[in-house]
Amino acid sequence: GVVKVKSRLKNKYSGIDTPNFYLNGLVYKAVGDTVVLTAVSQEKHITSIQWKQVPDIAAEWSGGLTTYYSHFKGRSALDVSTGALTITGVTADHSGTYTAEINYNIANSLELLVISSVSKPNISTWCDPEMTSCNLTCEGDTTGAKPVTFSWRLPGGFVNSTKVLTITMDKTETSYSCIVENPVSREESAAIPDPFPQKRNRMWILLCIIPLAAVIGIVI
């Protein structure tokens, strides 16, 4: 037999009802989401079901009442007609390898990883004393939210996969915002303006004043 995972969720990342997110063979869910693990077996008549979060039993049924164990109590439901196990309000404790056993025949396993949603980031700015280059850092709480990726939104396009963006005065954009995302969520910072305009304005004033001072000196 085979085991298939079927789950649908609605969260701030998707905004719509979507299936599980798979990455490198893992099934990702956000903390608090619901996951439905659907066991598909060749058995025509189901007489026993056992789900394991390896190596421990999560839920089992063999014709009577369904028994749930540990952190599956009070938040799980086993459909004895299909073998589907629904877990609501998942936590990090539900991460792990799962196997389904239908009529004592073990099907293949799956890996579930429950992670936190990312928080809204903010941008910190550090510039060198000469104001020729600046480092923009995308900062935010990513505790329990990995794997996390960073990208930057610029008027001219996107710069991907970098937490720190280095910009120079001769190559700059009018605004910057950063995006942090993981397999279950995505957040974007407020945009910040180009940190160089004031410096350029000062340079423009100096460029105007110096020749003017020279002319005045010649006249005097």
For residue range 25-35, what is the model confidence (pLDDT) as tens digits?
A: 688 999 999 99
What kind of fold does domain 122-202 have according to CATH?
Immunoglobulin-like (2.60.40)
**Alpha carbons 143 and 31: distance in angstroms, whole number:** 12
Q: Summarize pLDDT for 177-210 with one digit per residue, the tens.
A: 999 999 999 999 999 999 886 555 554 444 444 4
Find out whether 136 and 196 touch, Cβ atoms under 8 Å.
Answer: no
pLDDT value at residue 207: 47
- Domain extents in the chain: 2-115, 122-202
85 falls in which pLDDT band (50, 70, 90)? very high
166 falls in which pLDDT band (50, 70, 90)? very high
150 falls in which pLDDT band (50, 70, 90)? very high
Find out whether 57 and 70 touch, Cβ atoms under 8 Å.
Answer: no
- Let me know if domain 2-115 sits in CATH 2.60.40.10: yes
Find out whether 89 and 35 touch, Cβ atoms under 8 Å.
Answer: no
Model pTM? 0.72
Q: Provide the token pair at 84.
A: 């589907």
**Alpha carbons 145 and 114: distance in angstroms, whole number:** 9
pLDDT at 131 over 70: yes
Find out whether 153 and 178 touch, Cβ atoms under 8 Å.
Answer: yes
Q: Do domains 2-115 and 122-202 have the same CATH topology?
A: yes
* % residues pLDDT > 70 (the chain): 77
